[in-house]
């Protein structure tokens, strides 16, 4: 590898926390400061697997809970060659949801252990930084109604939040909790600062393997 690799930066959090807005602003800010950066999101709904997931999320089809969990994971794995290629070209990837959403959402369903949920994602490219946008359920509710997709209820989101909090305690992943209750620009400044530090720290490090 001749050039410095890009960093894998993940934004996680419950619905309404502002992940997508912040991912877009971060990519723009990194590009404006002369860095190579691109955004990705999971689920990536454009692939064949992504289309199955999309139809499930829009309540147009039903899938068995284990099956859909594995499809979400497969949707990440199918993009791993592209992710690695971009990182090795020196492009930093800003990712809207990753394996942490996968584990938090499925393990919030009855009968799913954290371990079972983590297994299919073991070995994915390890994020150089995960930022968890934290917003309590009452503040999230003030940001407007949930949409009509599956999982968009406050009871389920509360259960998901608890699972996220467990995952963020894992010392093997570099994680930063971000107070998402502040205004968009303050949250952005915080996220940009952490991201620039992560990009510099990752430059000469090999890409790690998640949960290994």
| Nearest Cα to Cα of residue 138 among 157, 152, 166 | 157
Name which position in 97, 126, 163, 188 contacts ligand TMP (CB under 6 A). Answer: 97
With CA atoms as reference, report the closest residue to 58 among 172, 188, 126, 152: 152
- Could you give the count of Cα atoms lying within 13 Å of 131 in the half-sphere of its Cβ? 29
Give the nearest residue (CB) to ligand TMP.
102
Segment contacting ligand TMP by CB under 6 A, of 3-11, 98-106, 137-145, 162-170? 98-106
Shortest approach of ligand TMP to residue 203 CB, angstroms? 27
Does 86 engage in binding with ligand TMP (CB under 6 A)? no
CA–CA distance from 168 to each of 35, 65, 129 (Å)? 28, 23, 11
Residue 164 near ligand TMP by CB under 6 A: no
* Percent composition of the chain: helix, strand, coil (DSSP 3-state, to 5): 50, 15, 40
Name the residue nearer to ligand TMP (CB basis): 37 or 108.
108
- Identify which of residues 6 and 102 has a Cβ nearer to ligand TMP in the complex: 102
Give start and end residues of each alpha helix (H) in 1-64. 19-32, 48-57
The string of DSSP codes covering 75-128 is HHHTTHHHHHHHHHTT-EEEEES-HHHHHHHHHTSTT--HHHHHGGGTTSBPPS
Is the separation of the CB atoms in 125 and 5 below 8 Å? no
Q: Which is nearer to ligand TMP, 4 or 151 (CB)?
A: 151
Task: Give yes or no for residue 72 binding ligand TMP (CB under 6 A).
Answer: yes
- Site for ligand TMP contains 5 (CB under 6 A): no
CB of 85 to ligand TMP, least distance (A): 21
Site track for ligand TMP across 139-158, x = CB under 6 A: ------------x-------
Q: Does 127 bind ligand TMP (CB under 6 A)?
A: no
User: Cβ closer to ligand TMP: 40 or 187?
Assistant: 40
Applying CB under 6 A, the residues found at the interface with ligand TMP are: 42-43, 57, 72, 97, 101-102, 105, 151
């Amino acid at each position: 590898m001749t050039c410095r690799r890009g960093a894998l930066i993940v934004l996680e959090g419950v619905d309404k926390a502002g992940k997508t807005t912040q991912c877009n602003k971060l990519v723009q800010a990194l590009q404006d400061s002369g860095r190579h950066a691109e955004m990705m999101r999971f689920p990536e709904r454009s692939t064949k697997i992504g289309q199955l997931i999309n139809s499930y999320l829009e309540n147009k089809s039903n899938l068995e809970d284990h099956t859909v969990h594995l499809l979400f994971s497969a949707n990440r794995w199918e993009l791993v060659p592209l992710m690695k290629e971009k990182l090795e070209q020196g492009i930093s990837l800003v990712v809207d949801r990753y394996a942490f959403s996968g584990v938090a959402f499925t393990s919030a369903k009855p009968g799913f252990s954290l371990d079972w949920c983590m297994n299919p994602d073991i070995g994915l490219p390890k994020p150089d930084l995960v930022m968890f946008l934290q917003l309590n359920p009452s503040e999230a509710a003030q940001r407007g109604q949930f949409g009509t997709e599956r999982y968009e209820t406050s009871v389920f989101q509360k259960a998901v939040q608890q699972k996220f909090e467990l995952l963020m305690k894992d010392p093997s992943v570099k994680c930063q909790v971000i107070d998402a209750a502040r205004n968009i620009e303050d949250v952005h400044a915080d996220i940009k600062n952490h991201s620039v530090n992560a990009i510099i720290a990752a430059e000469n490090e090999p890409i790690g393997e998640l949960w290994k």
